[in-house]
Amino acid sequence: MLTTSIPLFPLQNVVLFPGVFLPLHVFENRYRAMMRDVLAGHRMIGIVLQKPGWQQDSGGRAATYNVGCAGLVTHVEQLEDGRYNIIVRGVEKFRIDGEDEGKPYRVARASPLAEIMSGADHEAVRSRRAHLEELLASARTPDLPFSDTLSDEEVVNILAQYLEFDAVERQALLERQGVAERCAAMIDLLEMKAMLGAHTPDRGLMH
C-alpha cells in the first residue's frame, strides 16, 4: 500500500510499472542515505522519470514527470563501499502533489492512482493479448514473457516496461488510465513502428 510520503528516485530512461521487477544500482551519497532510511521503514521508493534535457523545477532540481510508480524493495545487496544493488517491484502508480524539505534526497507528498480492472477491462485486455502476440511474433521478438503463470495485466505491464520504446513513450503508457487503455496504446505504438519500418528483421523489440 502506497504511503502519502515517499522518497523519490528520479531516473533517466527508466519507467517502472505495477507488478514488474526492476534492478537498480544506488551509488550517490544522497541515495545511500535514502536507502538507509527506506530499509529502516516501509521499504518503498518512488521511481519517477526525469524530463529530457536539463530541465529544472522551481527548486532547481531535475524536472520529473508528475506520475511515477512506487516500488517495494524486495532484495538488497549492500557493497563494502556503501553502494547498494537492489531490486524493486512495482506496487502502485502515484501522482506527485508536492515535495517536502529536510532530507538530502527528495521526498514527495503523493496521491495513489489505483488501477482497478472492471470486467469489461479484463475482457478487453484478454481479447487484445492475442493481437499483441501476433505483433511481437512478426517482429521476431525473443524471450516473450507469455506463459500460463502470468496474468494478462502482468504481460501488458512487462511489455510496456521492457519493449524498445523511448522513455517518453513508456511514460505515456504509464500515465494511461488503466491496463486496458495501456494495452490498446501499446498496440498502436507497435503498429506504428512496424508501419514506419522502425525495426529491421534482425533487430528484436526487447532490450
State residue 172's pLDDT score. 96
pLDDT in tens, 92-114: 999 999 999 889 999 999 999 98
State residue 128's pLDDT score. 86
Q: Which CATH number fits the domain 5-113, given the four candidates 3.10.20.90, 3.40.50.300, 1.10.3720.10, 2.30.130.40?
A: 2.30.130.40
State residue 201's pLDDT score. 47
Return the domain boundaries, the chain: 5-113, 119-196
Backbone angles phi, psi at 70, to 5 degrees: -75, 135
State residue 14's pLDDT score. 93
State residue 206's pLDDT score. 46
Q: Which residues of the chain have pLDDT under 50?
A: 1, 198-207
